[in-house]
Amino acid sequence: MRFFTPIKFGFLTSVLAYILLNSIIAFKNYQNKKELSAFDLNQDGLFSSNEISAEQKAAMDKVSNDTARNLAHFTLIPFAIVLGYGAYKLKKKIDMNLVA
């Protein structure tokens, strides 16, 4: 009996794709927040008038306009399922060719 049946392979591919893609998004969030915190010179969590610049406003826009990143946890589910289904079909086809 094989351990990696096509259904297990497809499920594992879906789960790993979902985890990997969410990890990339979490890292991007971390990068954007770190870039924004670099403009907070006195590290008080607020931006005073001498800390505000065009670059700071651009970094603030990246952090605050994050609707797509917040919804990515839900929107990546169908993508991961489709990827897993493709892996399932591919594994099934490979296994059929090995048996024949």
The pLDDT tens digits of the residues spanning 4-62 come to 788 999 999 999 999 999 999 999 999 988 988 888 777 777 777 778 888 888 888 88
Query: What is the reported pTM?
Result: 0.79
The pLDDT tens digits of the residues spanning 49-89 come to 778 888 888 888 888 887 888 899 899 999 999 999 999 99
* pLDDT for the residue 100: 63
Residue with tokens 């670099």: 38
Closest CA to 51 of 36, 63, 64, 62: 36
Helix and strand numbers (H, E) in the chain are 3, 0
Q: Which two tokens stand for residue 61?
A: 């826009």
Cβ proximity of 80 and 12 under 8 Å: no
Q: What is the identity of the amino acid at 64?
A: S
* pLDDT for the residue 30: 93
What are the extents of the domains in the chain? 6-99
d(CA 66, CA 69): 5
